[in-house]
Amino acid sequence: MIFDTHAHYDDGAFDEDRALLLDSMKEQGIERIVNISSDFASIQKTLDLTKAYDFIYGAVGIHPSDCGELEKSQIEYIREKSKEDKILAIGEIGLDYYWDNVPRDVQKWWFEAQMEVAREEKLPVVIHSRDAAKDTMDMMKALRAEEIGGVVHCYSYSVEMAKTFLDMGFYIGIGGVVTFKNSKKLKEVAKYVPLDRIVLETDCPYLSPVPYRGKRNSSLHLPYVVTEIAALRGISEEEVVKATYQNTLDLYRMEQ
Ligand code: NI
């Protein structure tokens, strides 16, 4: 019973075999998936996936690297779509100074505006933050993000920073990167974060775990992430699966 908290099955990388792949999830132990929007068009594609598959849920929002061409008034579209059935969160939203292809003030405007939609609609947020730890945390503090809640997805910062996010009540999303040999920092984080605050994610089609590093990722690869987290913490794989499933229900405020 594995719950993938963060996937992009609307991505073109799945155009060839999307239905075949998704139809195989349940029999391979992938119980539920949240499809996360990134650019504007992916919001409708996410909604379509939630309607086509009973085990797929969604998040609506605009990724910081995809907000450059938007009109501010398009925030209302996100608000409207966030009210639809099976939409569990606003995301992915945040700051990305790695690609840095959208002016930082524009990224910040969309991050704040979407945080406010989440607050008003009483939904958690899925935060994307890359090479932008300080600005992300400063904004979260200023916006009282602890009142909104959510997950820091594809966590890539230090243990010290993780503590700050945890203190704000956030969950930490861990995926394929934790299996990489050179991901020393993330392995430390995976050991440090309390077991009741870790959630599993693929971010597929990206970030496939070893032994599929560099290949297309899918939720079917999550057992490799489970094995790594279990080994790092010295607990059983069953414990990791069970705890992360329950954590995901708590994060996305699902009854069961
Ligand atoms: Ni993502």
Q: Which amino acid is at 29?
A: G
Q: How far is the CA of 55 from the centre of ligand 1 (A)?
A: 19
Q: How far is the CA of 38 from the centre of ligand 1 (A)?
A: 7
Residues 54-100: pLDDT tens digits?
999 999 999 999 999 999 999 999 999 999 999 999 999 999 999 98
d(CA 33, CA 25): 9
Q: How far is the CA of 36 from the centre of ligand 1 (A)?
A: 7
List the 171-174 sheet strands across, edge first: 2-7, 30-36, 56-60, 87-96, 125-130, 150-152, 171-174, 198-200
d(CA 216, CA 108): 31
pLDDT at residue 256, rounded to an integer: 82
Beta bridge partners of 204: 7
Q: How far is the CA of 195 from the centre of ligand 1 (A)?
A: 22
Residue 78 contacts residue 90 (beta carbons within 8 Å): yes
pLDDT at residue 140, rounded to an integer: 98
Q: How far is the CA of 92 from the centre of ligand 1 (A)?
A: 7
Residues 168-197: pLDDT tens digits?
999 999 999 999 999 999 999 999 999 999
Residue 71 contacts residue 42 (beta carbons within 8 Å): no
pLDDT over 90 for what percent of the chain?
Answer: 99
Measured between its terminal Cα atoms, the distance across the chain in Å is 12
Q: How far is the CA of 110 from the centre of ligand 1 (A)?
A: 16
Q: How far is the CA of 237 from the centre of ligand 1 (A)?
A: 24
DSSP state of 12: G
Q: How far is the CA of 9 from the centre of ligand 1 (A)?
A: 10
Q: How far is the CA of 188 from the centre of ligand 1 (A)?
A: 22
Q: How far is the CA of 8 from the centre of ligand 1 (A)?
A: 7
Q: How far is the CA of 26 from the centre of ligand 1 (A)?
A: 22
Residues 119-138: pLDDT tens digits?
999 999 999 999 999 999 99
Radius of gyration of the chain (CA): 17
pTM for the full model? 0.97
Q: How far is the CA of 176 from the centre of ligand 1 (A)?
A: 12
Q: What is the dihedral of CA 96, 98, 99, 101, to 10 degrees?
A: 60
